[in-house]
Structure 1
Amino acid sequence: MKQFIQVVRQPAALTLAVLLAACGGGGGGGAPVNGSPAPGPAPIPAPAPVPAPTPAPVCEITISADATVASGKTAGAAALSACTPYITSIAWTQVSGPSVTLQAARSPTVAIETSTAGVIRLRADATLSDGRTSSATTDITVAAPVSGSFVTVRADHSLRVGTDTSVRAWPTLASGEAVSKIVWSQVSGTPVKMNTDDQDVMIFTTPATASVDSTLVFRATMTTTSGKVDSDDVIVSIDRQAATPNGYIFKNTARVHPYVVGGAYANVLARCSYDVGLYFLDTGTTLCKAGTLPLLQSDAGSGGVPSVAQVMARVIVSHDFLGANFEKFLNSQDAKGDFRRMLAATSTIVIGSHVRPSFYQPATGAIYLDANYLWLTPEQRDVVTEVPDYRLAYDDQLNFTSLGRLVKNNDYARRSYPAGERVTRPESDLILGLGRLLYHELAHAGDYFAPSSRNLNTTLSIYGNVEPRAAAKSLPSDDLATAYPLLSSQMKGLGQVMFLGVTPTAVQKAYTAAEVGNFFSSDVASDEYAYSINDNANSREDLAMLFEEFMMSYRHGIQYDIAYSNLFKDGMTSDQLIVAWGQRGRIALPSIKPRIKLVIIKVAPWIDPAVVDTLPATIQMPANRSWEANLALSGPVNGTPQPASFFSMSEKRSQARFDVAERRHAH
């Protein structure tokens, strides 16, 4: 069990000297009057004492940290402000001791882990909201490792109020032992409700309000099958933030900072793109003017393609490795410049460990990316929340399951990375998750700000520039809805349930997988997410899905599978999901190709729309065959089972769960 210490650094005493000016009157002689001496000058009244100015109250950061930690376990340290000025920026450095990696060096809370014994000294340098600076140090002693099985909780981190988050317990087991149980408890801080449905992961919501920074400390206690008991604590600090009134754009935000220090817009990126004070109401707006934070296109010039450096100057992150990985991705996987051309339609790229789901916001002109698409190492993944996408539960009452996957050469192009395994993800794999995500979200940006619509009125906000066109329904997605509308009333109704959380009707609950396949196949959407609409005329997601699927096929040779099967239950494998209807490469259907061409002409005019006619032909999946058996489709099939890729039972179970979640998480 860890021991905690709290370190306070006090400033030198504040000394003010008050100088009081003394005035002296010179005595003058004069001729006597009537024999009386002439009166002297009137005495000067003594000045009233001037009180010394009251010195500003001392406001120094403190550090709550683990005093000792066993070798191989994770320790944490949190910098806090307990007075009115709050921490606006912070930087952690290691002063001495065995070398450690600080994944969150610009966050109030850092986690460290090492197998080398010794004393690690950390220093936190903070700037407060009143402009003052404050520093503190703390020592963490790394002791001998625990004998036998032990558990560590990763990772200590910082959050703002009212935010969902998670921490995971990681058992290290001696030979022949297994975990009997893991029990979570709260050691200190404002009590919160803990969700431990999965005993390895604890999910909770931070308190809704906080007047000062504070910490929550949780403990995971593991018991093994041999009776060995071990515990580990984790610190989650609460970074205060003002409550958000109704009508504001963000209910809460996470702490982020510019990836490029000293960039031209570094001081306004977060304020204009990711601040709880932003609103656009009938009474006014706090949105920044386009002259304060313009679209990235302004840096590249008219018709130009932004450089990677120009893009990175618009990135704000919760952790620096997210920016570094994003920069690597642009340098290695944007050879055609598609991503940079489309990023020109954005003002800011926000990448955060607690952004979920990813989205584009026309009010700010920014895209917000889930950090789960950018980790490469287990240590980087540790800081990414495991809180599930809230939309995953929307279809729980339906009687079918929709499945999706990316395929190439009759095999999975994108495989799952189970959360309970410490794995490294190759950089080349990012295109399969981050790439498709960018195509989707940047299609939204291109919808609102097509290449022909990026010359903005700098006296208006970004939203003020686009709102008249959106209200007039003159965006590319509106043109798509007019020229090639979606017609299935059943799929529109299911879209409200699956993606917007509307309660399903009794009729919708009774739909079979075969019926839904028939509803979907008779319409012209490429993907069911196209039906995530608030009214019949809104085709924003329809446009984004068409562009995403086309670009993944055209640039990367990736086809999309979509299918409807029997109801998935946790623990099922891909062999147990029986396809009632399914297709591969649906975007190549003659009824869908004209829709893709319209989208390309509008949002990506540098691509020849004629290439749509070169897409690989659509393949129908044989019904009543498992999802696993439908993986290998060498061409138009006649019902003869094809060989499937080999998966172990655990891999099939993991991949099936991933393919179900894929239908909700990807966008």
Structure 2
Amino acid sequence: MSKPLYLILFSALTLTACGGSSSDNSGNPEVPLPDLGRCNVSSTLNVNTTDSGLIFLTEPSYQVGQPSTLIGKIGNQDSRQHQYFWQQTAGPALELTSQRSPIFSFEASSSGEYQFELTVTSTGQTYSESIPITVTDETPVLRLRNDHQVVQGNNVSVRIDRINGEVPSALSWCVAAGPNISLDLSNNERALFTAPNVPADTVSIIRATAQVDGQSVSDDVHLLITKEAPITSTFFEEPVARTFAYNSDSPYAQTLQRCVYSNQLTSLCNINQLPLIGQLNQNLDNQLILDRVLVSHQWMGDNFAEFLTSLDPNSDFARLLQSVTAVVISYDIRPSFYWVATGAIYLDPNDLWLTKFERDTINEAPDYRSGFGSDLNFLMPWRYVKDNQYTSYLVSREQRVDRNWQAAAPDFASLLLHELAHANDFFPRSSHALLQGPRLYDDYLRRSDSKLLVSDQLEGAYPLVSQEMFSLADVRFRGESASETQKSYQPNDISQFFSNDRASDFYAYSTTREDAAMLFEEAMMSHRYQIQRDVGVTDYPDSATASSIVVDWGQRGRIGQVELADRAVLVIDRILPELNAQQWVANLPAPIAMRAGETWQQNLSLTAQQTVSQVKAKQSSPSTLLLAEPPLQLSGDRHK
């Protein structure tokens, strides 16, 4: 997806706090990709009719361990007119991740007879039918993921499974059915493309073929490209994924999508239509929060609900969520953001998945900003650590693994703290009774003009001063062209600019709103979880990995720097006054300096008595093998 109009319209005033789920499919969007070739042999689906008019499209056969699909439709009607619900009624229990989609994906772990029931509802009419299938015990050699529905014009990603940890050899791709498409195969095991416009809901089948043990093997992935209503929104003018209210009984079920994530949003909703959660009820009731959740997949809402129920013992998130109108979690949101125009936070589910099947449903299209600042000579990486170990479960998509909440919670907590810091920057709970409307955006303008935002107060009391870092932030985070002076800066120059100022992270220089959010996020992670944030300045080699970039300067727990304390206290006191920030900020751990001249990975252990060789040995142990060389995280990469 190209950069959406709402990022342009509101960037100066409203999207200074994280925004944008958009991304480009290719490294150079100015050069069109060629059409993918057609397969020599096409693929077809079986058509199964019923007396009610509901039609099932099924694959010719189903095997154990094979990514599989069923498609339901009502005659020739487009699916946007209906609501879908799939359930399994016979056979060994499966993990279901697409129950609310017209295209149902699954993977059977054992052979046998299975049956699925589909209920389709529309205005005044309900269809309900069952479809039996037989799964054989033939083991597939090649697996292509993931069958799913995508709206026309939206980004699509499909991925081939590795075999014994290796990319299948002689891997090639072709179109087995459906419209012509243009694949970005810069990573040959992950195909990216933009779904073409279609005259009606259309099945697209893409085939991958490879050589395994001297034999040619292939697999198909099935995509339902859906015809959507014409885009009329000036806010969401690029296609967005289909979403639904997590709680169908919510009094806001019909309002959520229309007001916060719709290509038909032509005017902003009033606060009497969708008020902040805390405007109506100050009780910390998770059900009131879940009534405002909008998701593209059921599991996203389920995991979010479990996080609130089981992993918020101090009710921090319940309090912070009082300042949003809605929570949107969708497979096409990347990176996460808060938008004052709607009052909602928009979350990338990549920090929320627990099973490999859940992760399979998340689109891999890269952040559209990924090439910004590529002609600069430095990087500013970050990571969260505890006891000299990563707390992030940073496993590449090539490895299909499950994880538990112990692995997932730190990343999701930090993400929520950041986005909710934005919401509470604009509308802290102390402001709720004073909001006049008619739109939340009108109240934002009044508060902004009067310098009442928390970030405005932070800037007034303790401003950042490095003009060099402000200008570099325009290059790295907004895509401005770097000047010759900026291109000439070396890591030691950046170290001086940054370390002598009072920002907790490079991203703080992108806007005053990000400055406040970064302070709040890092302080809360240290206080509540004893997890500290590393920030550093390194070189920028051609192949940048944790073990190849060399640290010029860095700190662990910069939020504990004395010069940052008053800034952190100001933000926390206005967002969560219950916490008595003055006392605990003063007791945050003092920062630990990194060792210049060593790699980012070697600086994972900053315990004085532990040698670098001991660190490497520890990271190579079986228990930490997945984290031995995690993907590099760079400042601002999770937010916009």
TM-score bucket of the superposed structures, by smaller chain: 0.7 to 0.9
The answer to whether 1:665 aligns with 2:615 is: no
Q: Which residue type is aligned with residue 202 of structure 1?
A: A
**Residue 265 of structure 1: how far off its partner (Å):** 1.6
**Secondary structure of the structure 1 residue equivalent to 2:187:** coil
- Secondary structure of 1:390's match? coil
Residue 242 of structure 2 corresponds to residue 248 of structure 1: no
Opposite residue 523 of structure 2, the aligned amino acid is F
Q: CA deviation at 1:458?
A: 6.7
User: Do 1:8 and 1:61's aligned partners in 2 also have CA atoms closer than 8 Å?
Assistant: yes
Matches within 5 A, 1:15-414: 62-80=55-73, 82-83=76-77, 86-128=80-122, 130-135=123-128, 137-146=130-139, 150-172=141-163, 179-207=168-196, 209-224=197-212, 226-245=213-232, 247-279=234-266, 286-301=267-282, 304=283, 306-414=284-392
Look up the match of 1:547.
520
Q: Determine what percentage of the aligned residue pairs are the same residue.
A: 34
Shift of the 101–573 alpha-carbon distance from structure 1 to 2, 3 Å rule, reads: closer
Structure 2 gaps of 5+ residues are: 1-41
What CA distance in whole angstroms lies between the structure 2 residues aligned with 1:464 and 1:62?
Answer: 48
Distance 2:625 2:310 in 1: 31
1:627 aligned onto 2:621: no
Query: Contact 1:389/1:665 (CA < 8 Å) preserved in 2?
Result: no
Superposition TM-score, scaled by structure 2 size: 0.87
What are the within-5 Å matches in structure 2 for residues 376-455 of structure 1?
376-455=354-433
Quick one: distance in 1 between partners of 2:89 and 2:388?
Answer: 53
Following superposition, the deviation at residue 665 of structure 1 comes to 2.6
Displacement of 1:551 in angstroms is 0.3
Which has the higher relative contact order, 1 or 2, with Cα contacts under 8 A spaced 6 or more apart?
Answer: 2
- Partner amino acid, structure 2, of 1:297: G
Q: Secondary structure at the match of 1:235?
A: strand
Query: 1: CA distance between counterparts of 2:388 and 2:92?
Result: 48
Q: Secondary structure at the match of 1:431?
A: helix
Per-residue CA deviation, residues 386-434 of structure 1 (Å, 9 max, x unaligned), is: 2222222212222222211111122222241121112121112233111
Q: Which has the larger radius of gyration?
A: 1
Number of the residue aligned with 1:491: 469
Q: Does 1:517 align with 2:498?
A: no
31, 45, 63: which one aligns with 1:4: 45
Q: 1:391 to 1:649 in 2, by over 3 A?
A: farther
Greater per-residue helix proportion: 2
- Which of 450, 456, 463 aligns to 1:478? It is 456
Q: Aligned residue pairs: how many?
A: 595
Q: Any idea what SS the aligned residue of 2:160 has?
A: strand
8 Å contact kept, 1:401–1:568 = no
| 1:595 to 2:536 alignment | no
> Are residues 1:463 and 2:441 paired?
yes
Note if contact 1:163-1:252 (Cα within 8 Å) is conserved in structure 2.
yes
CA pair 641-123 structure 1, distance change in 2 beyond 3 A: closer
Return the alpha-carbon distance in structure 2 between the equivalents of residues 439 and 664 of structure 1: 15
Give the 3-state SS of the residue equivalent to 1:665 in structure 2. coil
Give, in angstroms, the shift of residue 190 of structure 1: 2.1
Residues 548 and 318 of structure 1: CA distance in aligned 2, closer, same or farther (over 3 Å): same
Give yes or no for contact 1:107–1:318 (8 Å, CA) kept in 2. no
User: 1:91 and 1:325 mapped to 2: Cα distance?
Assistant: 19
How far apart in 2 are the matches of 1:336 and 1:601?
A: 16
| Counterparts of 2:210 and 2:353, CA distance in 1 | 28
Helix, strand or coil: the match of 2:251?
Answer: coil
The reply on whether 1:576 has 2:548 as its aligned counterpart is yes
Deviation at 1:613, TM superposition (A): 0.6
CA-to-aligned-CA distance 1:348-392 (integer Å, 9 cap, x gap): 111112211111111111111111111111111111112222222
Following the alignment from structure 2 to structure 1, what is the Cα–Cα distance between the partners of residues 190 and 620?
A: 24
Q: SS at 1:455's partner residue?
A: helix
**TM-score when scaled to structure 1?**
0.83
What's the Cα RMSD here? 2.7
Letter of the structure 1 residue corresponding to residue 559 of structure 2? I
Q: Alpha carbons of 1:311 and 1:178: their partners in 2 closer, same or farther (altered >3 Å)?
A: closer
- Between the aligned partners of 2:428 and 2:504, the Cα distance in structure 1 is 22
Instruction: Give the distance between the partners of 1:506 and 1:434, measured in 2 at CA.
Output: 39
Shift of 1:336: 0.8
Q: Distance in 2 between matches of 1:327 and 1:83?
A: 34
Match of 2:588 in 1: 615
Query: Alpha-carbon deviation of 1:228?
Result: 1.7
Distance 2:485 2:49 in 1: 63
Kept in 2, the 8 Å contact 1:404–1:662? The answer is yes
Deviations 1:241-262 (A, max 9, x none): 2343573245222111122221
